Amino acid sequence: MLLRTAVLMFLIVCSVFIFSVCLKQISTHARTKFLELNVVEKPSQSREKLIDIPYLHYPIPVSFSRNECAHNSVLFFAILSNQRSGSGWFETLLNSHINVSSNGEVFSVLQRRKNASSILQILDKVYNLDWLNSASKNECSAAIGLKWMLNQGLMEHHKEIAEYFNRRRVSVIFLFRRNLLRRIVSLLANSYDSYAKLLNGTHKSHVHSAEEADILSKYKPTINSTSLLDDLKDMEIRAAKALEYFNSTRHMILYYEDLVRNPNMLKDVQEFLGLPPMELTSRQVKIHRGPLSDHIQNWDDVRKTLNGTDYESFLEADY
């Protein structure tokens, strides 16, 4: 009798123990599953902020099917900049993000910008995901755009383009260069190499090695010191007009030098585009490094021209 009671008590204790373990496992599994669902379903905070604003689109391309990504929203953007202002480097950074497709200088071809109508037709193709090139992520792009130089029909047709940007809810990224003297050096050097072809008979606007950068930087352009002040002022006025023309758009303003000194600003760019933050990378290497006196043939003339003016700081500033 005593033995039977002991066995019964043992069985009861074992049953309670097994039940409690199973209950704990079920509870833990349910909690884990709940957390997983939260992680998967919760959008990034920056994109969540845009949900109430019609900046997110669901394009239906003609050239391919978005398949399972058809329900993923897409933000439209345009990078507005000038040649030799770091826009090529900046675009490679953006395109290193798995969810970004920036299609380069679409309007570098004259025929595409012959009038406002042709420009808007091309923009429709880009933002419908039907402009296919090596940068295209196609069906799973979360941000789609292009790089547009101010001298590629943008200023001439600014009214029609600004109206289009506002109507289609295109977000604008202005990218300028603070040190315009360095921009002039880069422009002149790049123009020279377009026919000199210093890299084994090949012209390269951007390079991926320090060796190639050193070869290109050996050429020291001569700057027209007589027109230099007017040239710098014209560059400033052109940038100011672009800001005025497209001020009504949703936009952010960036400077090349600020991005170089503070790479964390790229997080602000990703938030502006409603993207999950990633570490962005580029293989491009800066060509003209070090003091400007090493890169300008008539340095003394340039220094005398700018000393005592609003542009004097350009002589010393790096980048």
Contact 319, 260 (CB under 8 A): yes
- SS3 of 44, please? coil
Contact 256, 86 (CB under 8 A): yes
- Sign of the CA dihedral with 242 first, then 245, 247, and 251 last: negative
- Its CATH architecture, for the domain 48-315, is 3-Layer(aba) Sandwich (3.40)
Q: CA–CA separation, 135 vs 117, rounded Å?
A: 25
Here the tokens at position 135 are: 């940068």
Q: How do the pLDDT tens digits run along the chain, 319 residues long?
A: 544 555 455 555 455 444 444 434 433 333 222 222 222 233 344 455 654 468 899 998 998 888 888 888 999 999 999 999 999 999 999 999 999 999 999 999 999 999 999 999 999 999 999 998 766 666 678 999 999 999 999 999 999 999 999 999 999 999 999 999 999 999 999 999 999 999 999 999 999 999 999 999 999 999 999 999 999 999 999 999 999 999 999 999 999 999 999 999 999 999 999 999 999 999 999 999 999 999 999 999 999 999 999 999 999 977 7
Contact 90, 84 (CB under 8 A): no
H helices within the chain, ranges in order?
Answer: 2-41, 45-50, 87-95, 116-127, 158-168, 180-196, 210-217, 228-245, 256-261, 265-272, 299-306
Contact 186, 82 (CB under 8 A): no
**The pTM of the whole model exceeds 0.85:** no
